[in-house]
Amino acid sequence: PDSYDPHAIVDKWLIAWAERGSFAANGLLSDERPDGRPPRYIVSMFSYPSGDLHMGHAEVYSISDAFARFSRLRGHNVLNPIGWDSFGLPAENAAFKRNLDPSVWTYDNIAMQAESFRRLGVSFDWSTRFHTSDPEYYRWNQWLFLKLYDNDLAYRKAAPVNWCPVDQTVLANEQVIQGKCERCGSDVEQRNLTQWFFRTSRYAQRLLDDMAQLEGKWPNEILTMQRNWIGRSEGAHIDFEIEGRAEPVRVFSTRPDTLFGATFFVVAADADLADELCTDDRREEFETYRKQVRASTDIERMATDRPKTGVFLGRYAINPLSGERIPVYAADYVLAHYGTGAIMAVPAHDQRDLDFARAQGLPVRIVVDTGEPAPAETGVAAAGDGVLVNSGEFDGLSKDDAITATSVRLRELGHGEATVTYRLRDWLLSRQRFWGTPIPIIHCPSCGEVKVPLEDLPLRLPTSGYELRPRGGKSPLESAEDWVAVPCPSCGGAARRDTDTMDTFVDSSWYFLRYPNPDYEDGPFDPAGVKRWLPADEYIGGKEHATGHLMYSRFLTKALYDLGMVGFTEPFTKLTCQGQVIMAGKAMSKSLGNLVNLQDQLAQFGPDAVRVTMLFAGPPEDDVDWADVSPTGSVKWLTRVWRLSGDVAASRDGAGDQAVRKQVHRLIDDATTLMENKRLNVVIARLMELTSVLRKAVDSGPGASDPAVREGAEALVRMLSCFAPFTAEEAWSRLGHTSLVDEAGWPEVDSALLVQETTTCVVQVSGKVRDRLEVAPDIPEDELRELALASGKVAAALQGAGVSKVIVRAPGLVNVVPMK
Ligand code: ANZ
Ligand code: ZN
């Protein structure tokens, strides 16, 4: 062909790759096929089959595939797996709308995405393929659930849950964005329901501690988000007696040293405790206030700049150390579900307490002398360090010493103790949905919770007799009467299945363990495969998963480690979070009408140009604004490479032009380091530069048959294959090869050709210049000394005299002082 056609080359190379099995990992399992190449496991967050692939997919998989292809060329045995996260609400909603089985919609979309992935040229090992909605997969969700259940890591309790009135389901905290349902945007309500939980809170400290392994390898931003989400606070529990109540009320404070400055006590207005403590004469005022509070979200309530409101409940609490009697208030700035839902208020040293005290005319007592101006007058709480005052026996202690001393005293008196709290809650995994993994528990009136026997797994979803949207917030599985009514496995009496399904984050919390042997039947994952490939060397996906999926996967890995099932505590050694593909500065959305359709782009420019455009736009972690990029420019460049590969002739014998070779090897060397550091956009810039160097060499330099030109063109095409695999194969064959470029390896750098700039060093003997040396600007002093002493001219000047001293000022000067 005499012109570059980005579409015509697609099928040809897809077939060639498939025939050669080019992308299969070697020795997927343990050592069944010994292979000296170091394994590298590169995982992209798997796809949700909500339709055909979109621009976001093209971005993630362009990044991971460039890295996978590079690793293969560099001699790694690469596992680049593919699977689908195929349970979830969108399938159920789509099925409901079309009156279909959710599986039909799901598997149709998977088939469509699979074909699109193939045509995008992503080098997956397709033998790893699975879908989480396959019973062969979700069977192991159930198995893992029972394993956690046996180990007190799964339990059921009645809990206030986030309830979406439109989707008619419970939502995890992670699915509530600013008080609204993540999916439909409606206001989330609180409901009390009996729910299943995984005990993530038990792992809070280890989730923090093990971040040491991830430091410098995961983006800082993600680590910070996780740290905040876990929210460790050191402080003390303090028990306050309440007049007229038998049991004391416990509070958590990070500042037990300020206990003598507590001038009032606050209970969350929407907590049951507030209702209980309210005296009759305060009831009316309280009820009115509580109604108003229930209408606002947590975010609004915690905002520091909001006027503080609240009501006196008519009761008093007793300070456990000072014996002081302080009034009890209900207010909305204290949250019901954090800490204990009650606080001691120290207005002099806590800003929100100060705001409240000033609004209500309550006393402000300084108990730590911080040197700051009086909070009661300035309205600014004194949060700094200082020495205790007005605090009885603790006066004179520093803040930190007082935190310890008050905690110790509270403990001695039986009124509290030092403690650590975490913001991290247990993982609520129950969903009142159909299209998910059924929870393998049977409820028996006489035996209670009974596990579905392992030999009965998978417990499959019913295929008929259910309604997707039963009335009254019933869960869909509850409507499948034939499925629900079962004999109890333990006593044989009439019993009923649990009708919740699992959060789909359960499916995705361990899928990367199954890829090495997706057909394994003796457990959720093959221990030999896991041993060979995990932890994953590279994980690539979106930062929206910072506190959800990435936290759940880390939790589950630790739980499995404790159960002796894996030998590591962190699943992903390195993490890369790609930016978003946006359009004209805005996130793409249907409502803005700025959606860019991937298939249109592919039809116009071909897969290679789309991939190159994505990666050339900027560093992988930055957003790609499709309004600012030029796929046409990418096509032009690929055309130049294609033309060059046809122009380069069979080469003459000989070493080739040295100037060209130096440029080529400098660029290879650069590209290699940049590639390892995933600076993909800069690598592409280097390849473009190399294309120009070679074009010039052909047209006005040593010419098309110079060996240096051929060497350069081959290097260019090999490196290009990471980004534009179809064009690279085509160019490789135009260069006369019958093998695949995919098997050609990454070009080797001849380090002798890496021209280093030199600087002149003056060598003196007794202060007289005797020699000049060309040396590297960063030459170490030792090396320079030796070099100078080895100089024949220096030896001549010394005339046999020994050396008494050598003064070295690298890189410019050496002065040799002879012995007298
Ligand atoms: C007295 C005190 C004095 C406090 C002081 C702070 C400074 P973190 O670090 O976020 O855990 N607190 C406790 N439970 C609360 C709730 N349910 N709603 C709102 N605030 C609550 O913060 C713990 C601190 O936040 C606790 O320490 C408590 O106020 C408040 F100079 O107790 B502190
Ligand atoms: Zn029973």
Separation of alpha carbons 135 and 126, rounded Å:
19
Please tell me the predicted confidence (pLDDT) of residue 583: 94
DSSP state of 461: P
pLDDT band at residue 175 using 50, 70 and 90 as cut-offs: confident
SS3 call for 431 = strand
Instruction: Give tens-digit pLDDT for 140-152.
Output: 999 999 999 999 9
Instruction: Give tens-digit pLDDT for 103-122.
Output: 999 999 999 999 999 999 99
Instruction: Give tens-digit pLDDT for 376-399.
Output: 999 999 999 999 999 999 999 999
Residue 212 CA, ligand 1 centroid: distance in Å: 27
Give, using CA atoms, the residue closest to atom 14 of ligand 1: 339
Contact residues of ligand 1, CB 6 A cut-off: 233, 252-255, 258, 334-335, 338-339, 341, 343-344, 346, 349-350, 421
CA dihedral 582, 587, 590, 591 (to 10 degrees): -140
Instruction: Give tens-digit pLDDT for 183-231.
Output: 788 888 877 789 899 999 999 999 999 999 999 999 999 999 999 999 9
The b/e string for 578-594 (b: 16+ C-beta within 10 A; e otherwise) is: bbbbbbeeeebeeeeeb
Residue 500 phi/psi, 5-degree rounding, is -85, 155
Contact 43, 63 (CB under 8 A): no
Neighbour count for residue 766 (Cβ, 10 Å)? 12
Neighbour count for residue 291 (Cβ, 10 Å)? 10
pLDDT band at residue 1 using 50, 70 and 90 as cut-offs: low
Q: So what's the ipTM on this one?
A: 0.94
Contact 511, 517 (CB under 8 A): no
Dump strand ranges (E) for 278-415: 310-318, 325-331, 342-345, 368-369, 387-388
Residue 157 CA, ligand 2 centroid: distance in Å: 20
SS3 call for 590 = coil
Of all atoms in ligand 1, which is nearest to the CA of residue 348?
31
To the nearest whole number, what is the mean pLDDT of the chain? 93
What is the percent of the chain where pLDDT is above 90? 81
Q: Which class for 122: exposed (0-12), middle (13-18), buried (19 or more C-beta within 10 A)?
A: buried
What does pTM read for this prediction? 0.85
Residues 6 or more apart whose Cβ sits within 8 Å of residue 495: 442, 443, 444, 445, 447, 450, 485, 486, 487, 488
Least confident segment among 11-25, 290-304, 470-484, 583-597: 290-304
Neighbour count for residue 775 (Cβ, 10 Å)? 20
- CA 371 to each of CA 88, 263, 365, 390: distance values in angstroms, whole numbers, following the listed order: 57, 21, 14, 15
Structure tokens given for 549: 């999926």
Instruction: Give tens-digit pLDDT for 557-569.
Output: 999 999 999 999 9
Indicate if the pLDDT at residue 34 is higher than 80.
no
Residue 253 CA, ligand 1 centroid: distance in Å: 5
Separation of alpha carbons 241 and 249, rounded Å:
6
Pairing assessment for the beta strands 77-79 and 180-181 based on DSSP bridges? unpaired
For tokens 């080797």, name the residue.
Answer: 748
What is the percent of the chain where pLDDT is above 70? 97
Please tell me the predicted confidence (pLDDT) of residue 319: 97
Instruction: Give tens-digit pLDDT for 538-556.
Output: 999 999 999 999 999 999 9
Instruction: Give tens-digit pLDDT for 294-337.
Output: 777 666 666 667 788 999 999 999 999 999 999 999 999 998 88
Please tell me the predicted confidence (pLDDT) of residue 468: 87
Give, using CA atoms, the residue closest to atom 27 of ligand 1: 253
Contact 324, 336 (CB under 8 A): no
SS3 call for 399 = helix
Instruction: Give tens-digit pLDDT for 719-770.
Output: 999 999 999 999 999 999 999 999 999 999 998 888 677 889 999 999 999 9
Give, using CA atoms, the residue closest to atom 32 of ligand 1: 253
Indicate if the pLDDT at residue 30 is higher than 70.
no
Q: Judge whether 590 is annotated as a binding position.
A: yes
Indicate if the pLDDT at residue 650 is higher than 80.
no
Please tell me the predicted confidence (pLDDT) of residue 21: 86
Cα angle value 691/697/699 (rounded, 5°): 100
Separation of alpha carbons 742 and 722, rounded Å:
9
Mutate to test the pocket of ligand 1, among 252, 299, 335, 352 (most ligand atoms within 8 A of CB): 252
Separation of alpha carbons 801 and 136, rounded Å:
86
Residue 448 CA, ligand 1 centroid: distance in Å: 40
Instruction: Give tens-digit pLDDT for 669-705.
Output: 999 999 999 999 999 999 999 999 999 999 999 999 9
Separation of alpha carbons 555 and 558, rounded Å:
5
Pairing assessment for the beta strands 39-44 and 536-542 based on DSSP bridges? parallel
